[in-house]
Amino acid sequence: MTHVSHTSVATAPVLQAENLSVFYGSFKAVRDVYLDIARNQVTAFIGPSGCGKSTVLRCFNRLNDLIPGCHIQGRILFDNQNIHDKRIDPVELRRRIGMVFQRPNPFPKTIYENIAFGARINGYQGNMDELVEQSLRQAALWDEVKDKYKRESGLALSGGQQQRLCIARAIAIQPEVLLMDEPCSALDPISTRRVEELIQELKQRYTIIIVTHNMQQATRVADMTAFFNAEATEKGNKMGYLVEYAPTEQIFNNPQQEFTRQYVTGQFG
């Protein structure tokens, strides 16, 4: 079996997958992943459909716990603590490791309430107006909504604005890590650019992992890139694994694995 050893990352790792395998029932979807995620950096997950990018991403804040039959082998460490330790509350873990999904999913509430709701549930005691404004500013949405955010529904925004609202909602509860699963795939190129610029800004304060099928996006936003692939098993299934993990520049210009080279040059499969 190919085995990818730890790649050293530029800053102390905030998240570490150690020999991670993920199962849906008896189906092993991903095997043997070793991965250190660098703090305050952007890490991109790339690879063909079905290779397990979303599956691995969801492990980091235990979102897979919500899928019946899904379980893992191996360990995931967050600040050197095993996230499956009994002392870890998964709800608190998901507060510290937030998620932005592929399709923007605002609540059917005002723009203001979209942000205030989660903060309130998480026990935010400070000035809510300030928090909402600051989150909208950080998500580069403030200027577009400042005249209407207290009365207009989040659902009345355009898709690109809705995605920035979801990012504002995610950062309002002050996570340390943001997981983003193809956050731009439903957006036009201009909204995509805005979200990419936002990611660059957010990485000053947050650690970001982004799944993307857009190679240019990975080269634009990511410091590190992990290339996943899927291989056929004896049972006729496909099993995902990590092929190569390195600084983005190396993955795209000087990959060490032949599969990576084929994938990033569009000659795959």
Ligand X SMILES: Nc1ncnc2c1ncn2[C@@H]1O[C@H](COP(=O)(O)OP(=O)(O)OP(=O)(O)O)[C@@H](O)[C@H]1O
Using CB under 5 A as the criterion, which residues of the chain lie in contact with Mg ion when the complex forms? 54
Q: Which of 16, 21, 41, 54 binds ligand X (CB under 6 A)?
A: 54
**51 lies in the site for ligand X, by CB under 6 A:** yes
Interface pattern 239-268 for ligand X (x via CB under 6 A) = -x----------------------------
**101 lies in the site for ligand X, by CB under 6 A:** no
Could you tell me which stretch among 45-53, 116-124, 132-140, 170-178 binds ligand X (CB under 6 A)?
45-53
- Residue number with CB closer to ligand X (73 or 254): 73
Find all residues with CB under 8 Å of 113, minimum gap 6, and list them: 107, 154
**109 lies in the site for ligand X, by CB under 6 A:** no
Which among Mg ion, ligand X, none contacts residue 52 (Cβ within 5 to 8 A by kind)? Answer: ligand X
| Token couple for 183 | 């956050």
Which among Mg ion, ligand X, none contacts residue 140 (Cβ within 5 to 8 A by kind)? Answer: none
- What's the Cα-to-Cα distance from 255 to each of 53, 92, 200, 248, rounded to whole Å? 19, 38, 24, 9
Could you tell me which stretch among 47-55, 160-168, 196-204, 249-257 binds ligand X (CB under 6 A)?
47-55
Q: What is the CA radius of gyration of the chain?
A: 19
**229 lies in the site for ligand X, by CB under 6 A:** no
- Residue number with CB closer to ligand X (40 or 102): 102
**207 lies in the site for ligand X, by CB under 6 A:** no
**50 lies in the site for ligand X, by CB under 6 A:** yes
d(CA 177, CA 209): 8
Q: Which of 14, 15, 20, 29 binds ligand X (CB under 6 A)?
A: 29
Q: Which of 13, 38, 46, 52 binds ligand X (CB under 6 A)?
A: 52
**55 lies in the site for ligand X, by CB under 6 A:** yes
d(CA 239, CA 185): 24
Closest by CA position to 71, among listed 27, 18, 17, 37:
27
CB of 214 to ligand X, least distance (A): 12
- Residue number with CB closer to ligand X (104 or 154): 104
Q: Which residues contact ligand X (rule: CB under 6 A)? A: 24, 29, 49-55, 67, 238, 240
